[in-house]
Amino acid sequence: MEDPRGPSLLDAIRDFSGNASPLDFVLIIQHWEMFAAGVGYTLLLVAVSLVIGGALSLPLAVARAYRTPVVNQVVWAYVYLFRGTPLLVQLYIIYYGLGQFEIVRESFLWLVLREPLWCTLIAFVLNTAAYTTEIFRGAVEAVPYGEVEAAKAYGMSARLRTSRIVLPNALRRALPAYSNEVIFMLHGSVVASTVTIVDILGAGRILNSKYYLAYEGFLAAAVLYMLLVYAITRGFKIWERHWHAHLRPRAA
């Protein structure tokens, strides 16, 4: 008996996929739980990496900007190493390379390094911390010299000037560049699927390989990444509008 309410949305999608579209959208919908889990893994990896990497990068950026002896050179070498090599290579060295050493396998480190999730987090944290260090270093160096001199004249110590004047000013200036780093980190997270983690791209690969498809899984992954990038972009615009409110012209 025909439904008096007409065909449902799923019926319409099934009819479109079977008769008019070269892509099978029904399979994507049927595996939404796998893609939802992939989004969860991706957000977990990216968010934790950005939080820890951002916390590490602040003192490193200050050391670079203030040209702290010895520490500046060490930080420069670390930044150059992780900015000069691809994230995929870094992940492979940590996940596949460190386990080749017996001293690592027999130490407490093996409890962490034998797990792909922890190896991926370590690689992501070290990578984003290197890029964020340079973003914050440039922002610290861009703080107007007059503001620092005014703080000195007021009697602030170097630590107080840094925490109350330099870092708040630098963080505001770094927001546009840091938003790009967040998006790049999201895009770079696709390498997690190469070490058995089912992130967004991993879910797409599983769908394609399970049903011998060419596009459906990758198309679904692309749409999900675009939605996440849109949310990140909008979030940073709101953040910038709040932090830069004092710079907007006021009505007379």
Q: Which domains does the chain have, with CATH numbers?
A: 31-237 (1.10.3720.10)
Neighbours of 189 (CB within 10 A): 24
- 188 or 173, higher pLDDT: 188
Chain centroid to CA 102: how far?
32
Mean pLDDT score, 28-40: 91
Q: Give the model confidence (pLDDT) of 195-231 as tens digits.
A: 989 999 999 999 989 888 888 889 999 999 999 999 9
- Note whether 44 and 118 are within 8 A (CB): no
pLDDT confidence tier of residue 2, bands split at 50, 70 and 90: very low
Q: Give yes or no for residue 13 having a pLDDT over 80.
A: no
pLDDT, averaged across the chain: 86
CA dihedral 188, 225, 48, 194 (to 10 degrees): -50
Q: Give the model confidence (pLDDT) of 47-106 as tens digits.
A: 999 999 999 999 999 999 989 899 999 999 999 999 999 999 999 999 999 888 888 888
